[in-house]
Amino acid sequence: MSDGSHMPERAPQPDRRLFLKVALGTGGALVLTAGMGRAEGRGEAALSAYVRIGADGTVTLQSKNPEIGQGIKTSLPMIIAEELDADWSRVRIEQADTDATRFGAQFAGGSLATALNYDQMRRVGAAGRALLVAAAAARWQVPATECRTDPGVVVHTPTGRRLGYGDLAADAARLPPPDLASVPLKDPKTFRIVGQPHGGIDSARIVRGEPIFGIDTVVPGMLYAVYEKCPVYGGKVVSANLDEVKALKGVRDALIVRGGTALEGLLDGVAILADSWWTANRARQTLKVVWDEGATASVSSEGIAATAAALARQPGTKVLRKDGDVAAALAAAAHVIEADYSYPFIAHAPLEPQNCTALMQDGKLVIHAPTQTPQAGRTLVARTLGMAEADVIVHVTRCGGGFGRRLNNDYMVEAAAIARQSGKAVKLLWSREDDLRHDFYRPGAFHTLKGGLDAQGRLIAWHNHFISFGQGDKFAPSAGMSGSETPARLVPNCLIEASLIPAALPTGALRAPQSNALSFVFQSFLDELAHAAGKDPLDFQLSLFGEPRMVGTDFDTSRAIDVLKAVAKMADWGRPAAARPGLRTGKGLAFYYSHRGYFAEVVQASVTAGGEITVDKVWVAGDVGSQIVNPSMARNQVQGAVLDGLAQALGQEITFRDGRAEQSNFDGFPLLRMPQSCPVEVQFVLSDHPPTGLGEPALPPAPPALCNALFAATGHRIRRLPIDTSALKA
């Protein structure tokens, strides 16, 4: 992938044809799971596969991927239940444990869950339905072709006889499994569950405050742990006053944990274990650590900006794309527009701070973790502690937000190391300060841009000097850019080059990685070019996309055009916003293609004479394929992504001094407040393409649409995030 989220494009493919393992479980339950080859019958408790059908007709489905708020714990089982023709009111859903043998790749990232699993989950459900139909046909001694299903029952069509799934489960479990590759699937026009709005399976439990998140985990004999790391990234412990800390009331242990140099792994630190987290965290006030801060202590935001400014005056060292002759096209252009854009580092700031519970049990290291990548976490722990992966068991809890932060499992390996070194069951819980100061940040970057327009106002040349972070000629995690980001491939003369600042700070994927920042730059500059050409921004974008066609193998201009036209109609684009006393109001447009999704958005924003911003409304049109699995959660994901994007633009920034983050809590890194929120109207444009994900692609257009709206309202062009409201004063 070019989005920097480091997720596989597709699930690992088995060497042999995919079959169903079928086993007769305890109590006559049917158990189905997608697996490699044939399997002998095993007890239900040991198999714990995708589908269990109890004798009472209750259907229990396993949800394979971590739930981080994107709704996948509900939507993947919906797909199985649809093809199984289950009665949704009798469906129960469980979070699957980490097991690559049974479930394949299990992760939450890249908006890939639907794209990778939609067809597979359909086939798992359809195979279960085929077995139930075959069992009923055998019971009645009739051809299977005479049978059909209604929710939870098999019906003999000629006679109307009916048998519930619970009555058939034991018989179905004894039948040979069908071939997943050829099992018949439903016509989507007949769907009863998929395509209908359903609340999240955990929503009621969350409202009731039930303990389902990682932070709620409790195991017998558990102690609470905090972990003090060097405030400068990668620093080493020289010494610590452990005896003084151990003497504090309620503190059970204090120990130095030695780590390596990889920022994404186990780093040096001091662990404090206590009877309560409050006691452990208070003991930090007594803890005194002497650190070897290393070379990173010299890094600062001011130094980074100065280095970037110097690099901007030189040619790039890395060419990402070169089409035509940009220098000649710019020399011949009727108008050349130049601008410098930049955006800051930002943190993920999920509401649930990082946490993990770990204990040694019967020679196994047992972990309970809110993680987006449990399989990668298991590998990291095993490698770091010198254990066999089979001896590391990871139970996945619900995550209180992820946004890419929990793709990294540093907190998991910390808890594991503390548990093994101390010999105790421990729950490691980071403070908010830990969470903001030890993130894998969305990296900042700098862009020097030139755009050339011909006499008719058409974009004929595009030059982007991208200054980011890396080592050698390789970009740091999520600090890169492909050579195909829009408007590349649409401009005849295009040069995209990069220069890299040596990376010393931890960076990683944040919701819609790379795209969330690049969209601000490119869509703002395209708006700038449209105004310079004297054209309406919508018309300028539509002319850029031209005739409906495929650009490369992945980008369909017709889908981009369709969502742009749809959002323009929703927002009544051609009509100016109504004037209101004391306010300057404008509308801004942006489009972006990321994570296989096509999204266009219009923001209406108002500005007071003092520069205060109110976002009045956002309109969104998106194309993520032919099927919206769960419309309720789909709208939720789009609305949440838009609000996330607005929050980033309005005030989020992490700055560094002496190699450490200067912001430590929400007073310095604000989340969007309720008064700052706004209505977000969503429309899905269905297209004849396989369904894809929604966690990320609606975010990138939001910041540039807001900035373009502010330009329309005030005439001030915003070229740096977060927005400086003092520049918007009348």
pLDDT for 409-454, tens place per residue? Answer: 999 999 999 999 999 999 999 999 999 999 999 999 999 999 999 9
Q: Please, which residues have CB within 8 angstroms of residue 354's CB and are 6 or more apart in sequence?
A: 405, 406, 410, 411, 430, 434, 435
**pLDDT given for residue 8 in this prediction:** 37
| 317 CB-near residues (< 8 Å, 6+ apart) | 473, 497, 498, 499, 500
Contact (CB, 8 A) for 297 and 230: no
pLDDT band of 45, cuts 50, 70, 90: very low
Task: Tell me the C-alpha distance between 625 and 612, whole Å.
Answer: 38
Close Cβ partners of 697 (under 8 Å, ≥ 6 residues apart): 111, 512, 515, 592, 593, 594, 595, 596, 597, 598, 599, 622, 624, 641
Residue 177's pLDDT is 84
Cis status, amide bond into 631, omega within 30 of 0: no
Residues 418, 422, 427, 428: is their CA dihedral positive or negative?
Answer: negative
Name the pLDDT band for 55 (thresholds 50, 70, 90): confident
CA separation for the pair 676, 615 (Å, rounded): 7
- Non-local (6+) Cβ contacts of 675 within 8 A are none
Q: Assess whether pLDDT exceeds 70 at residue 21.
A: no
Residue 34 pLDDT > 80 = no
How far apart (Å, rounded) are the C-alpha atoms in residues 417 and 422? 8
Beta bridge partners of 466: 447, 498
- pLDDT tens-digit readout, 543-593: 999 999 999 999 999 999 999 999 999 999 999 888 899 999 999 999 999
The predicted model gives 351-358 an average pLDDT of 98
Residue 388 has pLDDT above 50, yes or no: yes
Say which amino acid occupies 408: N
User: What is the pLDDT confidence band of residue 491, given thresholds at 50, 70 and 90?
Assistant: very high
The model carries a pTM of 0.94
CA separation for the pair 710, 334 (Å, rounded): 27
Q: Are 162 and 4 in contact (CB under 8 A)?
A: no
Neighbouring CB atoms inside 10 A of 225's CB total: 29
Output Rg (C-alpha) for the chain, integer angstroms.
28
Mean pLDDT, residues 289-313 taken together: 98
Q: Is 462 left (phi over 0), alpha (psi -120 to 50) or beta?
A: beta
Q: Is there a contact between 440 and 506 (Cβ–Cβ < 8 Å)?
A: yes
Give the residue-averaged pLDDT of 515-533: 98
Residue 173: predicted pLDDT? 83
Region 482-506: mean pLDDT is 97
Neighbours of 325 (CB within 10 A): 14
Q: What gap in Å lies between CA 369 and CA 356, rounded to an integer?
A: 5
577, burial (CB in 10 Å: exposed 0-12, middle 13-18, buried 19+): buried
In 423-502, alpha helices (H): 432-437
**Are the CB atoms for 398 and 212 separated by under 8 Å?**
yes
Percent of the chain clearing pLDDT 70 (strictly above): 93
Q: Which domains does the chain have, with CATH numbers?
A: 18-200 (3.30.365.10), 214-294+354-429 (3.30.365.10), 303-345+442-728 (3.30.365.10)
Residue 170's pLDDT is what? 83
Residue carrying the six token digits 């708006």: 527
Residues 149-173: what's their mean pLDDT? 94
Query: What is the tens place of the pLDDT at every residue in 105-122?
Result: 999 999 999 999 999 999
| Closest of 228, 233, 269 to residue 506, by C-alpha | 233
Backbone φ and ψ for 8, nearest 5 degrees, come out as -65, 145
Confidence of residue 169 (pLDDT cuts 50, 70, 90): confident
Q: What integer pLDDT is reported at residue 30 of this predicted model?
A: 52
- Across the range 91-98, mean pLDDT stands at 94
CB-count burial class (<10 Å; 0-12, 13-18, 19+) for 55:
middle
The predicted structure's pLDDT at residue 207: 95
451: Cα separation from own chain's centroid: 32
| Cβ atoms 625, 188 nearer than 8 A | no
Q: pLDDT tens-digit profile of 632-657?
A: 999 999 999 999 999 999 999 999 99
Angle at 676 between CA 672 and CA 679, to 5 degrees: 110
